[in-house]
Structure 1
């Protein structure tokens, strides 16, 4: 990722994609399972469906427990905002109409496999990062850039693991 000079109010997005030599069904089973994320992510520690939901669907909510060396530990409530089976799965953290972030997977059949894209949108609502920005407003662009780089690194790790798992099950 190159320096963009973005600030939080820009609602920046970072995205990566990978080709997986496996069908969309196999990839979908992995990415739509929220319980896989704690196994892949350096930050997500635990997730659990809320409101008696047992799986994803638009409007279904889940709690996530997270930890980061610089940001500490925190808990979020996410709402599934997109659920188009074998195509798109996205959740908004916090208020779905004004989230602190949105995370999304998109699948596209490609040849004999699937192209998987993951993206993360920062903002527009305040997040834990907002505290660091408020404490050091003159460093906002650097704070946002560093966090986006962390998102990018996490996404690459997620995609590599999902690729490995899907291709093993093929």
Structure 2
């Protein structure tokens, strides 16, 4: 992957789905369901409707390590994109939908740190998660697995 960015935390994966943007959006925008497809997310607790400003309490797991995070939805464009920021580490996770026509959609998952990662997060990743490069490689594999699970779920329902 090549990116014209100085964000060393930028990761991006995509897939094409045999489903309409409406059907893909229905799945992607329901962040409460994130544990169904994300290998590291165990819980995403949200009260009320999802939109810009919605906050969540999350439980993540990697190997035997479990940790909490919070997130806030920073972008919400129905059938186009949803993004949430994790204040603890500075990461922004985005899901973008591209209508390819004929009932097909390209789904992109992106992780970036527009303002850089937090010092505490960098220290914890270095000490407990194998280092920035190794953990980023794992995250990228998990992102591909996330999109594969989403693809499977939405295509079986389409």
Alignment gaps of 5+ in structure 2? none
Aligned ranges 1:21-170 → 2 under 5 Å: 21-49=18-46, 53-69=47-63, 72-94=65-87, 100-112=90-102, 113-122=104-113, 123-133=116-126, 143-170=131-158
Deviation per CA, 1:43-71, whole angstroms, max 9, x where unpaired? Answer: 1111111xxx423110110010112226x
Alignment gaps of 5+ in structure 1? 3-8, 136-141
Which 4+ runs in 1 deviate beyond 3 A? 126-129
* RMSD over equivalenced CA pairs, Å: 2.4
Number of residues of Structure 1 aligned to a counterpart in Structure 2: 151
Confirm or deny: 8 A CA contact 1:62 1:77 kept in the other structure. yes
Confirm or deny: 8 A CA contact 2:39 2:146 kept in the other structure. no
TM-score by length of 1: 0.79
| Pair member with larger Rg | 1
Confirm or deny: 8 A CA contact 1:100 1:126 kept in the other structure. no
TM-score by length of 2: 0.85
